[in-house]
A and B are shown apart, each in its own frame.
Chain A
Amino acid sequence: DAKTTQPPSMDCAEGRAANLPCNHSTISGNEYVYWYRQIHSQGPQYIIHGLKNNETNEMASLIITEDRKSSTLILPHATLRDTAVYYCIAQYGQNFVFGPGTRLSVLP
């Protein structure tokens, strides 16, 4: 599985969009990009995933660059409850390997 690189931490003002970047420059053609988040003391929660096209669901949007070497998770209107560690994973098959993630702090 491709290695991903994320900033260790980010801040975002409540009500503003949170844009979380992820670099996966060694991603292969059949590897999907997954995003999970972990709110303090809970198990990780699935957010969204995609292969080539941009994706949107009720939680977030995923923007994948045309060369697929990076992606951005967008939380359109961040709330205090979105404060969490966000994990980006490039994965094919069954093995999900979580990196250290980005600790997002949403500030009032």
Chain B
Amino acid sequence: GAGVSQSPSNKVTEKGKDVELRCDPISGHTALYWYRQSLGQGLEFLIYFQGNSAPDKSGLPSDRFSAERTGGSVSTLTIQRTQQEDSAVYLCASSLGRFLGGSRQSGELFFGEGSRLTVL
């Protein structure tokens, strides 16, 4: 498709189970971002990738959270031993990642529709 695709769109799981959320960015976009948004709250930055590497993992809330990106394309966010406080919408975004510094940059983020995670 033309946009950022995320799956599953909805996931209900039991506390303690592991979950994997998938993001398929726009073709050719080198930068990929994960955010999460709890009900009624703003966007919380989790991690971003430039290519397959993650220069900034500072937003991951705990070591139960991990993410990888392979082939400069699809990314997977894994949450181990889920807790109720992990319930949120997990949003993925991608961009061309062309930041030239000082000159006009194309930093537009394109977001997917999110994966809604509910931990019972």
Residues of A within 8 A of B (CB): 30, 32, 34, 36, 38, 42-46, 49, 51, 85, 87, 91-101
Interchain CB contact under 8 A, A98 and B45: yes
Chain B, interface size: which category? 20 to 34
- For this complex, 10 residue pairs linking A to B, each with C-beta atoms less than 8 Å apart, are A43-B112, A43-B113, A44-B93, A44-B111, A87-B43, A92-B101, A94-B55, A95-B48, A100-B42, A101-B42
Interchain CB contact under 8 A, A32 and B107: yes
Query: B-side binding surface: helix, strand, loop or mixed?
Result: loop
Binary per-residue interface labels of chain B (29-71) against chain A in the complex, 1 for a CB within 8 Å, 0 otherwise: 0010101000000110100101000011000000000000000
Interchain CB contact under 8 A, B109 and A96: yes
Binary per-residue interface labels of chain B (92-120) against chain A in the complex, 1 for a CB within 8 Å, 0 otherwise: 01000101011011011111111000000
Q: Which of B48, B102, B104, B114 contacts A94 (CB 8 A)?
A: B48
